[in-house]
Amino acid sequence: MKRQKVQWGSVLVLAVTCLVWWDTAGPVLAQSEQVVEVTIKDFKYVTKQGVLRLGFPTVIKIRNEDIERHDFGSTMFEGLPTQIEKDGVIVYGRGVGGVFLDSKRDAAIRFNMSRPGRYEFRCSIHPNMTGELLLLSAEAV
């Protein structure tokens, strides 16, 4: 009988330890994702980002603040496993070209940065709308 109590006590201690670790590690794990915020406003892309590092999970969060539909497309996703979250639907694939956004809608594109370079993004509906991301490898800095 004593042996069972010791086992359950050990399990309880382990469970509490794991919960404490998960609670403190959660913010650290969430911070490992690089975030690029792109707002579409007045037929322009407004980009907010920090330094992007290659080989790290990256999310591009796009919000359309205009009253018209826009597109966010780029060759930067070519050949890369990509995940798009939009309107409660998640789509996975390789070579995803981008996403269309109706007014006041948003989307998130997740992928791993793996190739340095200058990547342009554009709206296929309004060809004058362009922007770019510059991805440098650590050796290039």
Q: Dump pLDDT digits (tens) for 39-66.
A: 999 999 999 988 788 888 999 999 999 9
Q: Domain spanning 32-140: which CATH class is it, in words?
A: mainly beta
Predicted structure pTM score: 0.72
Top-confidence residue, 88 or 105 = 105
CA dihedral 85, 90, 93, 99 (to 10 degrees): -40
> How large is the average pLDDT for residues 12-33?
44
**Residue of higher predicted confidence among 19 and 89:** 89
How long a stretch of residues is the chain?
141
- Confidence band for 11, pLDDT divided at 50, 70 and 90: very low
Q: What is the pLDDT of residues 94-132, one digit of tens each?
A: 878 889 999 999 999 999 888 888 889 999 999 999 998
Helix ranges (H only) for the chain are 2-31
Domain boundaries, the chain: 1-31, 32-140
Using pLDDT thresholds of 50, 70 and 90, give the confidence band for residue 12. very low
Assess contact for 132 and 51: CB atoms under 8 A: no
pLDDT, averaged across the chain? 78
Measured over the CA atoms of residue 127, residue 129, residue 135 and residue 136, the dihedral's sign is positive
In the prediction, which pLDDT does 138 show? 56
Token pair, residue 7, equals 């086992």
